[in-house]
Amino acid sequence: MRMSEPMPKKNGRYASFGFSVMRQVLGIFAVFAVVAVVIAGVDYFGRGGGQGQIVAQSPATESAPAAPVCQVTDKASLVPASGVLFGVSLDSRARSLEGYAFDLGRKPAVSVSFVTFPYGEEDKRDLEREVIQIRTHGQMMLLTLNPEAGLAVVTSDAANALAFDLAKFNADGVPVIVRFAPDMNGSWYSWGQQPTSYIAAFRTIAAAVREHAPGSAMMWAPSYGGGYPYTGGKFEAKPGTPDFSVLDTNADGALNENDDSYAPYYPGDDVVDWVGLALFHWGNAIPWGENEVPEPGKFAAQLTGSYIGINGDDSPVPDFYQVYGVAHGKPVAVPETAAMFAPDAGGDGELAIKQAWWGQLFNPSTAAQFPQLKMINWFEWDREETEVGARVDWTVNQTPAIRDAFKAALPDWLRYGPAQSCRPRG
């Protein structure tokens, strides 16, 4: 099952599970007017400050230029020389990418997708349809691969089949960043807390992608280390096992918050192109479910492993940005982020909560403070959250007042999708 929804786990981070998404086919019975959509700017990344925005013009005054033929983009060019890619994790049942881009007034540079790996023909067809949407209304795909049956399913044959598909997507004008088995340091997934097998599987996928899909890149994305090692999960490493020994990074015979929550799972600089850390505001303290304005500085503190606040002391958590963005020299992504608002819970208001969170993400100092930060994707979902026990609206594009405030806050250092879509060869 291809698409999946993030789901919170015991300590407030999230897991995900798959579900099938039915595509809706809209019939058009009559067309009375044609509006040509043209977009300012000509570079690969749409710029902030007015460029890259969707602008309607009269066909009588100007027609859209002919679309260029799609070319395979070198993966290195997916990293903007300056600024940060803006993307979205979109619930496609509720909103199309086309509708989202229209409401935002900009094409998102990144569209987040999920698929169980290895996938079958039905999922492949879904991905192919999604590629068409992204080519037209976005730019690149962040493809999350979930090996739900365990890491043993990652074979060279399965990896090569994936890479051949990615090469086709690339040729059709959509670069792909593969986020393989995220949250591998967690205890809630079938691929969790198995560092040796995980690294081998990651490298198998990476080798196939390197050989067959040079227009695609690899992302390594652990779960935020607050709460590590997430004791009590179904797949936690057991004392006496080889995995436990690898994860006991300080060799004291125990696996706890004083062990490195990231390093044992790192597959190596030669196979990692991007590093990612999803960061959500679930509220200020466990139990989650209260509508609360985020603490000042929370986003930066979690990214740098320096959070000490209402929810406890996470200072043993490594500085993800410094270690992997600076020391390892990798572009850093926040592959999913949002702030929780439960409409029926009372407490602080929706605008106050979300504005405080995006205010931290888009703070004028963010780009200067974190020059290796190259991607931020908003989590655009409105759904029931098991841990909260209620509906949570994570969206910013659903309510006009929230959307207007969000759009007004978008800084000029964000980068969007290209001005003009390409057309596939042949």
Q: How far apart are alpha carbons 256 and 248 in whole angstroms?
A: 8
pLDDT(6) > 80? no
332 contacts 370 by C-beta, under 8 angstroms: yes
The first and second tokens of residue 107, run together, are 């094409």
End-to-end CA, the chain: 31
Question: What's the CATH class of domain 75-415?
Answer: alpha beta
Q: How far apart are alpha carbons 16 and 386 in whole angstroms?
A: 11
Q: pLDDT tens digits, residue range 215-247?
A: 999 999 999 999 999 999 999 999 999 999 999
Res. 147 pLDDT band, cuts 50 70 90: very high
Where along the chain do its domains lie?
75-415
pTM above 0.75, yes or no: yes
- Nearest residue to 372 via CA among 301, 282, 289, 274: 274
Res. 17 pLDDT band, cuts 50 70 90: very low
What is the signed CA dihedral for 88, 16, 131, 273, rounded to 10 degrees? 80
- Nearest residue to 375 via CA among 363, 361, 359, 394: 361
224 contacts 5 by C-beta, under 8 angstroms: no
Beta strands at 390-393 and 36-39: parallel, antiparallel or unpaired:
unpaired
